Amino acid sequence: MRVTIHRGINQIGGCITEIATNKTRIIIDLGQNLPKGNIPSDDNMANRENIEDLIIGVNAIFYTHYHGDHVELFKYVPKGIAQYIGEVAKRVMLCKYEALIHIPENAPVKAEDIQLLESFKTFREKQEIPVNNDIKVTPYFVSHSACDAYMFLIEADGKRILHTGDFRDHGYLGKGLMQVLEKIILPKGAINVLITEGTMLSRSTEKVLHENDIKLNAIELMRQYKYVFVLCSSTDVDRLVSFYQAAQETGRSFLYDNYQKNVLNIFTETKGTIHELFRFDNGHYYKHGHKKQLDILKGKGFCMLVRPKHYNQIKELLTQLPEKQILFIYSMWSGYLNEGENQKEEYVKIEGLFNDRVKRLHTSGHATPETLAAVCSLVNPTTAIIPIHSEDSEKFRELPIIEDLRNKIVAYNGTIHL
C-alpha cells in the first residue's frame, strides 16, 4: 500500500492525496489552490491535460466536502471515473453551480460542469464503499464549516489509513469527533497512517469560539441593534444556525436572497429531518423596493444575510433606516479584510458602508492545535502522521504530543510505502 501527497504540504487548500495498492488507485480530494484576495487562483493543475495525466489508472475519487480547495478540479476529470461525495454536499454544489451559470462573469462555469456533477456517486456516513474489490473506503461525519463533511477510513493490504479532511470540535456537532474515533474506528484495529489538517497552526492569534458562543453573542447584539446585516458563508450551516437562532430568540425577521433560500431549503430538508437545530422554517425572502414589506421590517427589526452582490441594495436601504439602530456583523475569516495578499476588495467595500457600526464575530472551521494534539495522541498511528492543509507543516512537531509521535511526522510531498 502506498500513500502519495501530491499537494497539501505547507499550503492551505489545493489538497490532492493518492492511496494505492498494486491493483487499485484512489484520490482523496482534488482541490484547487486558493485565490489570493481578488486575484484568481494560480494553479497549474487547473486544466484538463494535467488532471488527466495525474489520474491515469485512478479507479475512484472521494471528496471530503464541497469547499473549492478540496473539490473544484472535479470539472477536469474525464467522464467514466467514479467521483464520490456526500448526498447533501452534492445537492449544495449543484445549487451553487446552477446559480453561478446564470452570472455572465462566471463564464468558467459551464453546462457540462453541472452534467458531470450530476453524475457524482454519493455516500452516507459509515457506508463501506469497495473499490475494485481491493480498497475499502468508509466515511465518518466530521464537524466543519461545510455541511456534510467527512473523514475517510481507507483499508487495504491489511493496512488502515485515516484521512481526517478538514474538521473541528467546536461546531454544534463537534463533540462527536472523539467518540467516533474512540468507540467506532479504533476498536476495529490500529491506524497505520494518520493524514490530518493543520490550518490553525499558522493562525495561533485567532480567537476560537464555540458556534454556540457565536449565537449567544449575536443574541446580545440583536438586543442592542434593531437592524442587523450579516456577511457570512452562504453554505456554512452552523453559522447560519447561529444567526437564525439569534433572530428567532430576539423576534427579528430572518432575511435572505433567492440563492440563500435554496441552500437553506436543502439543509432543512436533509439535516433538519435529523435534528431540529438545522431547520430554517421561519425565514423570509427580502423583496428590495417592496414598501409594504419594508414597513413591516422597520417595525419588527431584522437579521439580513448579505453578500457583495447586494452592495447597491444595502446602500439604498441604509438611507431608510435610523443610523443608531444599524449594525453590520462580519462573520468570516479576518484575513479577507486585513491589508495584504488575501484581502478581498468586495468585502472591504461592503463593510465600508457601515462606517463604525461594525462587529467582527467569527470562529474557525478548523481544529485548534489542542484538538490536533488530542487526535494525534488518541489515534496514535503505528507508522506516520502526515500533516496537510497547513502553511507550515513542521509546526506539528511543536504540538504537545509524545516524542514517538513527533518522530513519525512526515512533512513533505512524496510517497510512503506501507
Burial class from Cβ neighbours inside 10 Å (0-12, 13-18, 19+) for residue 100 reads: middle
Positions in the chain short of pLDDT 70:
104-108
- pTM for the full model? 0.95
Q: What's the confidence (pLDDT) of residue 103? A: 74
CATH 1.10.1740.10 fits 2-203+366-417, yes or no: no
As given in the structure block, the three cell numbers for residue 85 are: 461525495
What is the C-alpha separation between 118 and 113, in angstroms, rounded? 9
Q: What's the confidence (pLDDT) of residue 104? A: 63
For residue 268, give the H/E element and its range.
helix 258-269
Residues 175, 177, 178, 183, Cα dihedral to 10°? 110
Q: What's the confidence (pLDDT) of residue 106? A: 54
For the domain bounded by 211-360, which CATH number is listed? 3.40.50.10710
Ramachandran class of 320: left when φ > 0, alpha when ψ lies in -120 to 50, beta otherwise? alpha
SS3 322: coil
Q: What's the confidence (pLDDT) of residue 107? A: 55
* Residues forming beta bridges with residue 160, ordered by sequence position: 155
Q: What's the confidence (pLDDT) of residue 204? A: 74
Q: How far apart, in Å, are the Cα atoms of 113 and each of 8, 74, 283, 379?
A: 24, 8, 31, 38
What is the C-alpha separation between 172 and 237, in angstroms, rounded? 10
Q: What's the confidence (pLDDT) of residue 374? A: 97
DSSP secondary structure string for all residues of 140-201: EEEB-SSSSEEEEEEEETTEEEEE--S-BSSSTTTTHHHHHIIIIIGGG---SEEEEE-GGG
Sign of CA dihedral 411, 391, 31, 368: positive
Sequence spans of domains, the chain: 2-203+366-417, 211-360
Long-range contacts of 88-91 (CB under 8 A, 24+ apart): 88/147, 88/148, 88/266, 88/267, 88/270, 88/271, 89/63, 89/65, 89/146, 89/147, 89/148, 89/149, 90/117, 90/120, 90/122, 91/266, 91/270
* Residues forming beta bridges with residue 7, ordered by sequence position: 16
Residue labelled with grid coordinates 452516507: 124
